Structure 1
């Protein structure tokens, strides 16, 4: 009969160290999530002029989630050391809430994907029409076309007779930007003219960013489920011992 309390004590000690180790890794993953979100934001944020808030929101949400994960992991570590039933159940509840929010955000992102696709293209077309009248649109387009080596929304002919020099390669290696006349007179198929539309390029960047966010999100969700199981297991062992 005396073996049962001893077995329960051993079980509690085992779960305690497992949960502490898990939360230590969870806290480190929180820092990793913050870094991943910051990298994605810096990559697509450079072209924020053409993006609605919904496209920039996911990496921001990821950074916030990373901060929350770090704080929740700290709570889990403290609860495991103190062997506090209340703190462990609070930790499990926090993980469950984060998991549900991530699931809801993922479903919403899938539902609004086509709408964002259409909205981005229309936003770019509106901005292109204001190239000659708005300094901010002019700077944004020249920056976009030069860095992504693209021209127009879908193709170079989107510019009609107002095609800017940023639509073209430099006339020779190491040369300055091509002259306005050189680029304006270039025809589709000319080697100096960028052939790819900027919508395709910027959407590709957004897709790559989405893959990173989805991969990180799935990884976090899997870790959270393990954390919930361990926290509930330890809370149950504490309750039995009491």
Structure 2
């Protein structure tokens, strides 16, 4: 006769897998949102920050399959399926933990990395660099690395980009603000892009850390439940 405790564990595991599937959806959405948000800044980041959200997107999709396997294994009371479920959960746990740690390490070195990348880009000032700068400066309402003087001191042509112009100070005929008087108050964005970009990417890294590590430790519960249920089923079959 099946023990009452084993039956309870089976239904707890079944309920857990529903939560697990929802968490997979959360991981998938978080990865997509972060990837979309950093898409405009990828010129300065290359693949360093794109790998973690892409990994989470893949994991989010994989989790749906693992959750189905756990539910099926619990209903069929199959020790083999439950062990495979626990193993896959363990692999996902390690990957998510790795993503969280990688995001932590990247966040710690973010300012130094960004400063070097932005400086090299503004020094080159080729068409790709300038397009990327225009996108960032318009979206984040910033100018240069620490301010608009960087364009005069570092760039090739020593000209401040029109994307540095504050929206309310743009001349409709020239589509920039360069013809405004030098004394025109704050015609350029005064904030540098380094601080704003660091803050924006840092927030995304925090999201990855929270989702990756938070969900990973919750999955430990599923591993324990699956192993316990598999062991209970084997004991019952022996008896």
| Corresponding position of 1:179 | 177
Residue 11 of structure 1, CA deviation? 2.0
Q: Deviations over 1:110-131 (max 9, x none)?
A: 3444444322221211211233
Given the alignment, which residue of 1, 18, 26 partners 1:24? 18
Residue 167 of structure 1, CA deviation? 0.9
- Counterpart secondary structure, 1:54: coil
| Corresponding position of 1:222 | 217
How many residues of Structure 1 are paired with residues of Structure 2 in the alignment? 231
Map 1:36-185 onto structure 2 (within 5 A).
36-131=30-125, 134-160=126-152, 161-172=158-169, 177-182=175-180
CA contact (8 A) 1:52 1:120 kept: no
Looking at structure 1, the residues matched to 169 and 179 of structure 2 have their Cα atoms a distance apart, in angstroms, of: 16
| TM-score for both structures, normalised by structure 2 | 0.87
Looking at structure 2, the residues matched to 172 and 120 of structure 1 have their Cα atoms a distance apart, in angstroms, of: 29
Looking at structure 2, the residues matched to 50 and 207 of structure 1 have their Cα atoms a distance apart, in angstroms, of: 14
- Counterpart secondary structure, 2:188: coil
Residue 90 of structure 1, CA deviation? 0.9
CA 1:181/1:172 → structure 2, altered by over 3 Å: closer, same or farther?
closer
CA contact (8 A) 2:142 2:191 kept: yes
CA contact (8 A) 1:170 1:178 kept: no
More displaced 10-residue stretch of structure 1: 37-46 or 120-129: 120-129
Residue 215 of structure 1, CA deviation? 1.4
